[in-house]
Amino acid sequence: MLFSSLISNGIGVVVIQFLTQRSASMLSPEILRLAKDINQCFLPASFILPFVLILLDERPIRVYLKNHNARGALTSAAFPMYLFNCTVARFHLA
């Protein structure tokens, strides 16, 4: 998930840079300066924010898998039952 997020953001940045540079001759210097200022804030945030949010979102499953690995390997029958219990619990909470 992290890798795919970084790739998609990278592709987006390359496309926007290409479109901005290609049409730079038609834009005024004020707009180009504004675009540069926005880019300096947006570019780091577009990589850091999804990375942090994905790590926070995946924390519960990582803890679960780490605990199960400490107790022993997951059996092929245990994991589908865990998924079933999680699905049932989500419907009861809703």
- Domain-wise residue ranges, the chain: 2-93
* pLDDT at 94 (0 to 100): 47
Supply 26's token pair: 């038609």
Give Cα 73 to chain centroid, integer Å.
28
Identify the residue whose tokens are 């909470």: 93
| pLDDT exceeds cutoff 80 at 4 | yes
Cα–Cα distance for residue pair 91/31, rounded to 1 Å: 50
Q: Give the tens place of pLDDT for each residue, 25-68.
A: 677 888 888 888 888 888 888 888 888 888 888 888 888 888 88
User: How does DSSP classify residue 28?
Assistant: -
- Three-class SS state of 71: helix
pTM of the model: 0.52
Distance of CA 57 to the CA centre of its chain: 9
Between CA 52 and CA 57 the distance in angstroms is 9
